[in-house]
Structure 1
Amino acid sequence: MHWIHYLETNPEVKTFDFTSECDWDGDHLWVVDVILSNGTRINHQVGRGAEENGELIALQKGSWKDQASRLENRVFTDDDLQPFVKSSLHWLKAIGFAAALRNYEYPHQALILLEYFKQYKNGNLGQILKDLNVCEHEPAVILGLVARLAIKGHIQLDLADGSFGYRTRWIWSVKEY
């Protein structure tokens, strides 16, 4: 849940790297090095070992303590992740479509979609696929690009109540100045 909600689909996150995986006294946890789009670096600590009074238990015990103390640290417990279980599961399909396009850019189709989003401001995915400028392209590519553009923050997808599909609502989220 952490990976989907706080990393993969968060447009503020530029890169992330799972730097450590630890077991202490039966508690399993991960440390993730996160770089935000503004350049800020944060350590995320995720797992049952992170829950003890919100303290960074593993970071304090681990050999990476010196590096971690220089970074902002954020602890994620089960309580932090619970509200996002449903929507995170719905994001898996969208992430799959975006991942299928890995290493391919499709600049022409991406520009068509960005113009469509800018013009219409909101709608659902089925409407996009029926548009005359869009429907001449492979639907799987279009859906992958929609997911990619949502992950980058150009649009917001409403995946709170349903999986990624033709009825998924979208909203243009780029602020124009």
Structure 2
Amino acid sequence: MIYFNGDGLLIRSMAYTDTEAFVQGFASQGWNKPAEQFQKYYKEQDDGIRKVIVAEYKGCTAGYVTLLPSAAVGPFADKGYPEIVDFNVLIQFQKRGIGNKLMDVTEQLAKEASDYVTLAVGMHIGYGTAQRMYVKRGYIPDGSGVWYKDKPLEPYGTCENDDELILFFVKELT
């Protein structure tokens, strides 16, 4: 399905051929994103478990985001709000509005099911750009503090500043 097409940018549902493009794209920037991850996303899209929204810029696969119908873990797990999970724009395509357009489309899809959308973001510097973008887009922390390995981190608790240390956000879709 095509969600947006203009100015060299195409936002659409994931195609199976995107798997190899993403594996290569992430490898070129030194990240290990295995093909199995994208194959799983594609299957879950086919099975109606997850929406996978892909950005193509001037014919090149540039980024993606996934949307679950409801949060599986965290403070919103029992609320039934859609959750944005695993949002990435390849470094060579950043700072062109691609991430914001992916988020526009994803939020519109979430609004079809709920007045709220949720997400979690990592706390280390690698997530800094995403943290800033989410705040600028109107996402606010849910107030449950940081979570570590799918559990709220107790005050003064021990953790590592890795991808498992996250903060949950929510946005009202008006």
TM-score interval for Structure 1 and Structure 2 normalised by the shorter chain: under 0.3
Q: Give the structure with the larger strand fraction.
A: 2
TM-score using structure 1 length: 0.23
More helix by share: 1
